[in-house]
Amino acid sequence: MNEQNDRKLNRRRFLARAAKAGLSIAAAGIIAKTLYDKQGPSAQPPSELVTIPDFSVPAMPGRTISIVKGRDRVKTIDKAIDLLGGIERFVKPDDTVVIKPNVAFTSVPALGATTNPELVAEVIRLCYSRAQAKQVYVTDNPINNPSSCFTISRIGKAATSAGAKVILPRVSFFKLTTLEGGKYIENWPVLYQPLAKADKLIGIAPVKSHSRAAASMSMKNFYGLLGGRRNIFHQDINTIIAELVMLIKPTLVILDGTETMVTNGPTGGSFSDLKRTDTIIASCDAVAADSFGCSLLGLKPADLPYLAKAQSAGAGTADYQSLKPIIANVT
């Protein structure tokens, strides 16, 4: 009898101990996982985190997104911006404006892999002559060699001819940032220098298909503000694109669907990859712009998971119809 009690007591004690051991192991494992640091320390002490300023302007219901059909890019973009209230609504006198086009590749404008330089030049012209901006900068962190990209895409020349300054990325221009609620953008370098002294940020992107993300439009355009070995995010491309619009709140995005790259994106290579869809979208909401833009590629918003992700994070709406887009034609 006594032995049985002894054994019972021992078993209870053993189980209690085993449970405590299990909990300690779990605790050790959790601590290790949360504090796990794959890359090691960076050259700068971690306290230098920056926040990207919010560049958006106050919303005007019914004047959030405009969709204009036209063959001539310059006329079409002018109309699109005017329908939203004109450049003066977005850029105020003496503002410093940063334009972020897609300059990712050493690709000539005709191939449609980069932003059309005419558009960049026209937006710069509007900022200076109509909005009386103080200074306009054009910047991007390209995938290929930066100076070749700005040269071959002709965006560099278009920018400087229009009176803007091109900012090529340098290592010291990148600062670490962490997106609150973000999974990937944590202590990650962003091209902060041009944004730090800017008042307004305008993104200009072409509509392209993308083999990984299905489409590369105004949201993915902001990938060009990330630094570091950013290609690792391609493994979860939809989350990172959503995080981009959570991180960056632009003043205005312009989505160029004049010649849409429908196959072989994002680099294309043949003129036959492009289809004339003659549409330009101007929007305060990049998610809405993309959710219309995908139709030019023959896709539906449901085909782009990042739209839903961005919408549920509150970074915009995937239902562009609800914003009452202003539709127009330009001959």
Partner 1 sequence: MAQTRRKTPRHESVISLFLLAVLFIIGLSVVIPQFNLRTSRTVVSAGAAKTLDSLLDSIVLRRTPDGAAGFEPLSEIAVYNAENLYEKIDGKAPFYVDSGFEKLLTNWLKSQQDDQLMFEFYVYDMAEPANAFSVFSVQKRPDASPLALFETNFGYRTENALLFVQGKYYIELIGSAKSEPLFNAMTEFAKQLSAALPDQRQFSMPEPLIAAGDNLIPGSIKFYTGNALGFDGFDNTFTAVYKIDSSNVTIFLSDRPDESSAEQLVRDYCKFLIDTGAEEKSADIDIDKARMLDFYGTIELVFNNGPVVAGIHEADDIETAVKVARLLNDILKPDTEK
Partner 2 sequence: MKIVTVRRISQIFFFTLFVWFCIVTTYGGKFWQLRNWPANLFLNLDPLVALGTILTTHSLYSPLLWALLTVILTIIFGRFFCSWLCPFGSIHHFFGYLGSRNKTAAQKIKLNKYRKAQSIKYFILIVLLIMAAFPSLAATLQTGLLDPIPLVTRSFNLILLPIADGSVNILSVTQRFYETTFFIFAFFLAAVLLNFVIPRFYCRFICPLGALLGIISRFSIWRIGKNTKTCSNCKSCEQHCEGACDPSANIKIAECVLCFNCRDDCKTKDNVIRYQAKPSLAGEVTNPDISRRGFVLSLASGFLAVPAVRLAGKIKANWPHNLIRPPGSLAEPEFLKRCIKCGQCMRICPTNVLQPAGLDAGLEALWTPVLNNRIGSSGCQLNCIACSQICPTATIRPITLDEKLGKGSFADKGPLKLGTAFIDRNRCLPWAFGKPCIVCEENCPLSPKAIFTREYFSTVRDGFLTVKKVVGNTIETVEKNLTLDKFATGDYYCSLDGSQKGKIVTNTNNAITISKEVKFAKFPAEGSTIHIQVRLQRPYVDIERCIGCGVCEHECPVSGKKAIRVSAESESRSADRKLLL
Contact residues for partner 2, defined by CB under 8 A: 10, 13-14, 17-18, 20-21, 24-25, 28-29, 31-32, 35-38, 40-43, 45, 170-172
Contact call for residue 238 and partner 1 (CB under 8 A): no
- Cα angle at 192 between 237 and 212, to 5 degrees? 15
Residue 254 is which amino acid?
A: I
Task: With beta carbons less than 8 A apart as the criterion, state whether 281 and 327 touch.
Answer: no
265 interacts with, out of partner 2, partner 1, none, CB within 5 to 8 A per kind: partner 1
21 interacts with, out of partner 2, partner 1, none, CB within 5 to 8 A per kind: partner 2
Q: Judged by CB under 8 A, which of 76, 218, 221, 267 binds partner 1?
A: 267
Q: Judged by CB under 8 A, which of 213, 244, 281, 307 binds partner 1?
A: 213
**Residue length of the chain:** 331
Task: With beta carbons less than 8 A apart as the criterion, state whether 91 and 127 touch.
Answer: yes
* Choices 93-101, 252-260, 271-279, 319-327; region in contact with partner 1 by CB under 8 A: 271-279
Instruction: Give the tokens for residue 303.
Output: 């085909």
Q: Write the binding mask 63 to 102 for partner 1: x where contact by CB under 8 A, - elsewhere.
A: ----------------------------------------
Q: Any idea which residue has 């990712």 for tokens? A: 104
Task: With beta carbons less than 8 A apart as the criterion, state whether 261 and 207 touch.
Answer: yes
Instruction: Give the tokens for residue 285.
Output: 């909401």
Contact call for residue 206 and partner 1 (CB under 8 A): no
Cβ proximity to partner 1, 141 vs 283, nearer residue: 141
Q: Judged by CB under 8 A, which of 96, 160, 187, 263 binds partner 1?
A: 263
3-state secondary structure (DSSP) of residue 130: helix
Angle at which helices 305-312 and 286-293 pack, to 10 degrees?
A: 160
Residue 227 is which amino acid?
A: G
Q: Applying CB under 8 A, which residues contact partner 1? A: 104-106, 108, 110-111, 143-144, 210-213, 216, 231, 234, 263-267, 269-273
